[in-house]
């Protein structure tokens, strides 16, 4: 008992300002937590045929989520085929989970990803093995968010390595072009790049050639993420001690051999934690495709709210979608923090 | 060396070829769609109303140029006010995380984790839903402090020369923030503050314990140690990442288009939809944001040089 008392004294009431802060926080909690628990749990409506039961109650209307969860998670994908995006979502999450294990970091990994993504493409599009064809205008919900983020980071990565190398290149034209690209993209909001892809890109192409909306948004996300990732990779390149460059040069290795076999393997290892952070950023940023009318997770929620029978439930809906985004981003950020924790030890061991 | 130049010339030629392909297609497409290119449309009548016009007098009969000016004003307004409040809240959060008080430190840490892991756009929608759907009407407005009214019409607060009063269905007098502006401001400030808090925390932590002990040992009090020893050293580490947070806030203010605050992107979007001048509209958006980004960078670089070590290599 005295240990608890001692802890409380040391951590909550160590000084007058500290004691006041503790009391202020407790008072605030007393004011806010009971009403919130009452709203979110005790008075909440969990099941209701329509919003009328919700309007009579004082609590949250979780029945809305129950009623609309299929549309929120899968968008306008044909209802009886929902198992396909569900399976694809599970597969994609499994791929990410598997890739996060250090013992999976070997040459099998790209192959496993290629197979996994091919399987997801078959599941989502169909048209083979007796699966009905579903055009990608009907894809929506969580799987669309995951696909945009996954392909965004995967395809931006090689581009970003080229940009980062270009920015540190000794060739003036290459360096100037890389700097211009990186700084231009980083200087403007993502929404302007998305507008560009959705409105301007069709003008750039010859008459008759069209790219669908999903692909255009995906292209914008890739081009956008590449600029930010390039800076992450550049940080990794700068973290390598200079004698590594000199030693490789002294061996008489050519630029590409030096880069591919000496510099990049080390630099990319340094870049993994900030790379995960960039991925979290991109994952959150995919929600902006709402503005150009793609049916991602946030759009399906917003569309559900537009139904007159369920209007006025924005707080419940956005809390729910926040929880989904939080689950993904928090898991990734914990993972990145764990890696950062390990990084110095591994660097010292020279592995 | 010769190969290097050949390589670069090849790169330039390839880039030129791609550019020529895009430009020629665009010219052809614009011709077939009968869209005149150029910025002549800026002087035509806009024909739409804007909810908040700020310091610029504007009506539907005014030109697109003037409408875009209103949008620019609104962008600068939200960005400036947002940066000030985000810095204040972020500093409080960062210092709270370092507090010896366990409850305060954990609360700040939880705040940072929750805010950073939810998309800003979701948070903006959330705040907008709270204000427009869940706050009472002006007649039953909440009054957290005397003279400040929260209602589904936004926030009304007193100024030194006038106090708000309820008259009929709305308030007169005082100053007010529209629901859109209030949601955008709250969203941007709380979001950016979480990131600034982490920067402040890292900056303060970077100043070694030995520095603080040394400051005490030469007879400085706690205030003096903070003012003359900790702060100058912490600022040197804080300023560069703080700059990128300010830039992020300015760029993120473009999400205003999703909740209907008439910022530059929102007005340019309306303009593009009405006139079909997509290229010009996007060029204007990009040019303005690049200018804002470069100005903030330039100012913060100047400030960074001021707080940097004298004679240190930059």
B114 and A291 within 8 Å at the Cβ level: the answer is no
Q: Which residues contact A72 (CB under 8 A, 6 or more apart)?
A: A65, A141, A297, A300, A301, A304, A320, A321
State both tokens at B58.
Answer: 């504007």
Grade residue B311 by pLDDT with cuts at 50, 70 and 90.
low
0.90 surpassed by complex ipTM: no
- Per-position b or e across A284-302, b if 16+ CB within 10 A of its CB: bbbbbbbbbebbbbbbbbb
| A chain contacts of residue B254, beta-carbon cutoff 8 Å | 189, 191-192
Counting residues of chain B whose pLDDT is more than 90, the rounded percentage is: 24
* ∠ CA B230-B195-B88, rounded to 5°: 60
Among A18, A196, A202, select the one facing B101 at the smallest CB separation.
A18
Mutate to test the interface with A, among B2, B30, B121 (most CBs of A within 10 A): B121
B128 and A314 within 8 Å at the Cβ level: the answer is yes
State both tokens at B168.
Answer: 């009929």
Asked if the C-beta of A175 comes within 8 angstroms of chain B's C-beta atoms, the answer is no
What number of other Cβ atoms are within 10 A of residue A266's Cβ?
A: 16
Q: Which residues contact A190 (CB under 8 A, 6 or more apart)?
A: A220, A224, A285, A288, B251
pLDDT given for residue B118 in this prediction: 94
Residues of B (148-187) whose Cβ lies below 8 Å from A: none
Among A177, A199, A302, select the one facing B272 at the smallest CB separation.
A199
| A chain contacts of residue B281, beta-carbon cutoff 8 Å | 195
Mutate to test the interface with A, among B122, B129, B195, B280 (most CBs of A within 10 A): B122
Query: Is B270 exposed, middle or buried, given 0-12, 13-18 or 19+ CB atoms closer than 10 A?
Result: buried
Distance CA(A275)–CA(A259), nearest Å, equals 19
| B chain contacts of residue A15, beta-carbon cutoff 8 Å | 100
Q: What is the mean pLDDT of chain B?
A: 84
Average pLDDT over residues B282-309: 84
* ∠ CA A62-A64-A70, rounded to 5°: 115
A191 and B126 within 8 Å at the Cβ level: the answer is no
CA atoms lying within 13 Å on the CB side of residue A262: 20
Helices (H) and strands (E) in chain B, counts: 11, 5
| pLDDT tens-digit map of A262-311 | 888 888 777 777 888 888 989 999 999 888 888 888 888 888 888 777 77
| A chain contacts of residue B257, beta-carbon cutoff 8 Å | 191, 291
- Per-position b or e across A145-165, b if 16+ CB within 10 A of its CB: bbbbbbbbbebbbebbbebbb
The pLDDT of residue A348 is above 60: no
List phi, psi (to 5°) of B260. Answer: 85, 20
* ∠ CA A105-A106-A112, rounded to 5°: 90
Q: Which residues contact A97 (CB under 8 A, 6 or more apart)?
A: none
A330 and B126 within 8 Å at the Cβ level: the answer is no
| pLDDT tens-digit map of A210-237 | 778 888 899 999 999 999 999 888 888 8
Residues of A (281-310) whose Cβ lies below 8 Å from B: 284-285, 287-288, 290-291, 298, 302
Residue B12: closest CA among chain A residues belongs to which residue? A173
Chain A nearest CA to B224, separation (Å): 19
Distance CA(A241)–CA(A232), nearest Å, equals 17
Which contiguous run of DSSP H or E holds residue B176?
strand B175-177
Chain B nearest CA to A102, separation (Å): 24
Distance CA(A227)–CA(A222), nearest Å, equals 9
Distance CA(A307)–CA(A311), nearest Å, equals 6
Q: Which residues contact A143 (CB under 8 A, 6 or more apart)?
A: A74, A85, A88, A89, A92, A124
Distance CA(A113)–CA(A95), nearest Å, equals 7
The pLDDT of residue B32 is above 80: no
A325 and B11 within 8 Å at the Cβ level: the answer is no
Which contiguous run of DSSP H or E holds residue A318?
helix A314-349
Secondary structure E strands in chain A: none
Look up tokens 């200087």; give the residue: A187
| A chain contacts of residue B119, beta-carbon cutoff 8 Å | 284-285, 287, 298, 325
Best CA proximity match to B194, nearest among A222, A284, A60, A28: A284
Region at A17 (left for phi over 0; alpha for psi -120 to 50; beta for the rest): alpha
Asked if the C-beta of A255 comes within 8 angstroms of chain B's C-beta atoms, the answer is no
Among B15, B103, B121, select the one facing A22 at the smallest CB separation.
B103
| pLDDT tens-digit map of B157-201 | 887 777 777 776 677 777 778 888 999 999 999 999 999 999 998
Which contiguous run of DSSP H or E holds residue B156?
strand B154-157
B101 and A207 within 8 Å at the Cβ level: the answer is no
Is the pTM higher than 0.95? The answer reads no
3-class secondary-structure state, position B170: strand
What number of other Cβ atoms are within 10 A of residue A104's Cβ?
A: 12
- The greatest distance separating any two alpha carbons of chain B, rounded to the nearest whole angstrom, comes to 81
Average pLDDT over residues B43-67: 78
A22 and B101 within 8 Å at the Cβ level: the answer is yes
Q: What is the mean pLDDT of chain A?
A: 83
Distance CA(A162)–CA(A347), nearest Å, equals 24
């Amino acid at each position: 008992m005295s240990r608890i008392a001692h802890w409380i004294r040391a951590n909550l009431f160590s000084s007058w300002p500290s004691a006041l802060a503790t009391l202020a926080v407790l008072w605030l909690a007393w004011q806010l937590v009971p009403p919130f628990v009452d709203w979110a749990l005790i008075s909440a409506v969990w099941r209701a045929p329509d919003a009328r039961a919700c309007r009579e109650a004082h609590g949250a209307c979780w029945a809305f989520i129950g009623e609309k969860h299929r549309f929120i998670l899968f968008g306008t994908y044909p209802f009886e085929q929902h198992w396909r995006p569900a399976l694809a979502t599970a597969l994609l999450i499994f791929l990410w989970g598997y890739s996060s294990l250090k013992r999976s970091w070997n040459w099998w990994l790209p192959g496993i990803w290629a197979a996994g993504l091919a399987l997801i493409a078959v599941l989502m599009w169909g048209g083979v093995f007796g699966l009905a064809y579903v055009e990608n205008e009907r894809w929506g919900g969580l799987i669309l968010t995951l696909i945009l983020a996954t392909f965004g980071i995967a395809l931006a990565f090689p581009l970003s390595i080229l940009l980062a190398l270009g920015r540190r290149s000794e060739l003036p034209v290459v360096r100037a072009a890389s700097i211009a690209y990186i700084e231009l993209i980083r200087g403007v909001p993502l929404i302007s790049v998305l507008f560009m892809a959705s409105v301007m890109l069709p003008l750039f192409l010859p008459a008759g050639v069209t790219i669908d909306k999903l692909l255009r948004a995906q292209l914008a996300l890739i081009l956008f993420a590449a600029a930010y990732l390039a800076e992450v990779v550049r940080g990794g390149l700068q973290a390598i001690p200079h004698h590594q460059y000199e030693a490789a040069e002294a061996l008489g290795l050519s630029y590409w051999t030096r880069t591919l076999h000496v510099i990049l393997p080390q630099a990319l290892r340094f870049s993994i934690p900030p790379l995960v952070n960039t991925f979290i950023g991109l994952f959150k940023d995919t929600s902006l495709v709402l503005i150009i009318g793609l049916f991602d997770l946030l759009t399906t929620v917003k569309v559900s709210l537009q139904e007159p029978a369920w209007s006025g439930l924005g707080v419940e809906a956005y809390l729910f979608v926040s929880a989904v985004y939080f689950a993904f981003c928090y898991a990734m950020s914990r993972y990145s923090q764990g890696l950062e924790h390990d990084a110095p030890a591994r660097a010292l061991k020279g592995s | 060396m010769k190969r290097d130049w050949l390589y670069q010339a090849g790169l330039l030629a390839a880039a030129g070829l791609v550019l020529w392909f895009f430009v020629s297609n665009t010219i052809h497409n614009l011709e077939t769609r009968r869209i005149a290119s150029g910025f002549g449309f800026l002087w035509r009548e806009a024909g739409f109303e804007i909810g908040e016009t700020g310091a610029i007098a504007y009506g539907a009969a005014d030109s697109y140029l003037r409408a875009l000016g209103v949008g620019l004003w609104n962008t600068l307004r939200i960005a400036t006010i947002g940066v000030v409040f985000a810095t204040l809240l972020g500093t409080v959060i960062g210092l709270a995380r370092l507090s010896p008080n366990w409850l305060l430190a954990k609360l700040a840490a939880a705040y940072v984790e929750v805010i950073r892991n939810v998309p800003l756009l979701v948070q903006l929608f959330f705040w907008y839903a709270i204000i427009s759907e869940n706050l009472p009407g002006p007649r039953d407005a909440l009054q957290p402090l005397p003279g400040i009214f929260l209602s589904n019409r936004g926030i009304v607060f007193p100024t030194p020369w006038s106090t708000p009063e309820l008259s009929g269905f709305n308030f007169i007098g005082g100053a007010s923030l529209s629901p859109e502006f209030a949601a955008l401001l709250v969203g941007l400030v709380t979001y950016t503050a979480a990131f600034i808090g982490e920067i402040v925390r890292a900056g303060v932590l970077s100043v070694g314990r030995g520095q603080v002990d040394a400051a005490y040992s030469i007879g400085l009090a706690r205030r003096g140690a903070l003012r003359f020893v900790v702060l100058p050293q912490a600022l040197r580490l804080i300023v560069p990442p703080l700059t990128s947070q300010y830039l992020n806030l300015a760029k993120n203010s473009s999400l205003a288009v999703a909740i209907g605050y008439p910022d530059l992107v929102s007005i340019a979007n309306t303009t593009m939809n009405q006139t079909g001048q997509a290229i010009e509209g996007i060029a204007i958006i990009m040019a303005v944001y690049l200018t804002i980004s470069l100005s903030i960078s330039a100012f913060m670089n100047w400030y960074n040089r001021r707080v940097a070590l004298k004679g240190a290599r930059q």
